[in-house]
Structure 1
Amino acid sequence: MRRYHIYIIYGLIIILFGLLLIQKLDQKQPEIIYQEVIVSPESGEEFVMKIPDTRAKLFDMPEAITFADEPVPLDLDDVKERLEREIYVNAYWQSNMILLMKRAGRYMPTIEKILHANGVPEDFKYLAMAESGLMNVTSPAGAKGFWQFMPATAKEYNLEVTNEVDERYHLEKATIAACQYLKKAFARYGNWTSVAASYNMGMGGLSKRKSEQRQHNYYDLLLNDETSRYVFRLLAFKEIFENAEKYGFNLSPEDKYAMPRLREVAVSGDITNLAEWAIKHNTNYKMLKLYNPWLRSDKLKGSKGKVYEIKIPMK
């Protein structure tokens, strides 16, 4: 019986030693580059594949950052923490960020050009990303397109919204309308950070909060959770896009989606069947809708005095 007890004690000592060894190895693990021996199925030759440690890691946060050339007060603890939150949330949502970077290759040149032509800071391209992910999505409230216009606001900024035509889905026209809103908000607030916040909660809502709290700086306001995070989401997109490799994104220009060469066909009358019309113009209904998402029906009723430009891929 005594010998049996000795075996138990030896066993416990071995288990304890094993646990200590495992703990020690775990402490060193971040320095390890894993290696795996791969055998070629063709030649039978062995070679070593080195696999880096892909576990989550801390990023060095920016020491300074601006939005539309307006400094972000990172010396305020809550501001720094809110920025960190959005950077980590978006940097570690890799699938979404990769697809966003790919879509940016197709749409950003157009958006940047229109922002520049209208005197709106280029950083507002990140607002379109935050609003829609650069997709023609529909919100639960009914906002549509890259810039997420509600029907009434769209019409206020001269976008046509009918059963057959919805220019909230028209990239160029909707971006111009967004510029008009942003410039109107800037005339009211005098700073672009407040303009960005107002795009999320409306000019009336933001002005009311500023008046109630007697604060004019976005970073000094207590706002609803969505708007409190909104500007920081734009800042996170900016930080990650401008320092992509730092956050683990190594896309080459060839990895990004590109806009094909398109030609425009001017239409002033009715089109009774868009599928037939597409075939007559050496394309098909799918491609017609893909590059003209503002066409919302299978036909187009012309408006008096209005000319529509329909984009068609060039062969």
Structure 2
Amino acid sequence: MQRFHLIVIYTLIALLIGVVLFQFKLLEEASKQPQFTVNTSDGNQIRITIPDKRVNIFSLPDKVNFASEELPLKDPEVRERFEREIYVNAYWESNAILLMKRANKFLPTIEKILKENGVPEDFKYLAMAESNLLNVVSPAGARGFWQFMDATAKEYNLEVSADVDERYHLEKSTVAACKYLKKAYASFGNWTSVAASYNMGISGLSKRKNEQRHNNYYDLWLNEETSRYIFRIVAFKELFEHPSRYGFDIPSKELYNRPTFRELTVDSSIPNLADWAIKHGSSYKDLKIHNPWLRSTKLNVSKGKTYTILLPV
């Protein structure tokens, strides 16, 4: 019994020491933070601790450009619009981190196609602004990384059917986007207007320029979405090119990667894609993840038509 009492006493002493040490730790942490004392009406005093600063004010660059076309940041209104998109995206940390990790999977392919088609590399950030590099569907029905509407997709030779929707095909949709961008450049002669037209259409932007008798995007009064559009694109560029400036430090080992693929050419219909995937040493899940343009459980192939399906090695 005496031994039991000693154990209880020692336990209570240990708990008391733990509580005292915890209180000292709290006092130590509080002493590191700015404090001030307020006198109350009844003669007492209240000590107020100012918490550590959680939000940083960024020192934004004096010069930024999109496709080698400089933003007029000396204009206070333009600078304010740019700052808005920097803060909105830099402090949406979860989205920014996942986008930076995800971009490593897809940007090499997008950059290669942009270069091959003579389109400035900065347009990869337009794809980010459109979709966050996800195969999303907009409320209006636009789909894929480049957010093509049904009619526009077909205009640029993308197949849209019950079994196949090439708006979800990374390579083919990027080529189609390049065709649109080059067509818009032929109309406007500058890449900033080209990017703005991607949001509101070539005819829409042309109409606003004619109505307002201004050719410069930054001098136009546009709808809320298009007026923010270029700044959102350039904000992504700034965050990606100078991540540490905005508090992002993602080790290369943490970035996402696409697997090595084997390409299978298909020239006849596949009645069951799950069976076909298993037959070729893969799974229906892998087939759908890496070929999101396959929209059904089967694939009808017209005479003379071929498709290339990617499966991980």
TM above 0.5, one fold?
A: yes
Q: How many residues in Structure 1 have an aligned counterpart in Structure 2?
A: 275
Partner of 2:247: 248
1:48-105 CA distances to partner (integer Å, 9 max, x unpaired)? xxxxx5x011000111000000010001111000000000000000000001001101
Partner of 1:96: 95
SS at match of 1:172: helix
Deviation larger for 300-309 or 256-265: 300-309
Partner of 2:164: 165
- 1:304 deviates by 2.2
- 1:14 deviates by 2.4
1:188-247 CA distances to partner (integer Å, 9 max, x unpaired)? 000000000000000010000000000000000000000000000001000111110111
Partner of 1:78: 77
Moved over 4 A (4+): none
- 1:252 deviates by 1.2
What does 1:1-315 correspond to in 2, within 5 Å?
12-15=42-45, 18=46, 21-22=47-48, 25-26=49-50, 30=52, 55-314=54-313
SS at match of 2:136: coil
C-alpha distance in structure 1 between counterparts of 2:162 and 2:276, whole Å: 19
C-alpha distance in structure 1 between counterparts of 2:276 and 2:116, whole Å: 34
TM-score (norm. length: structure 2): 0.86
C-alpha distance in structure 2 between counterparts of 1:162 and 1:11, whole Å: 76
Identity %: 63
Question: What is the root-mean-square deviation of aligned Cα atoms in Å?
Answer: 1.3
SS at match of 1:144: coil
Structure 2: give runs of 5+ residues left out of the alignment.
1-38
C-alpha distance in structure 2 between counterparts of 1:214 and 1:225, whole Å: 20
1:128-164 CA distances to partner (integer Å, 9 max, x unpaired)? 0010110001011110000000011000000000000
| Letter paired with 1:130 | A
C-alpha distance in structure 2 between counterparts of 1:128 and 1:117, whole Å: 17
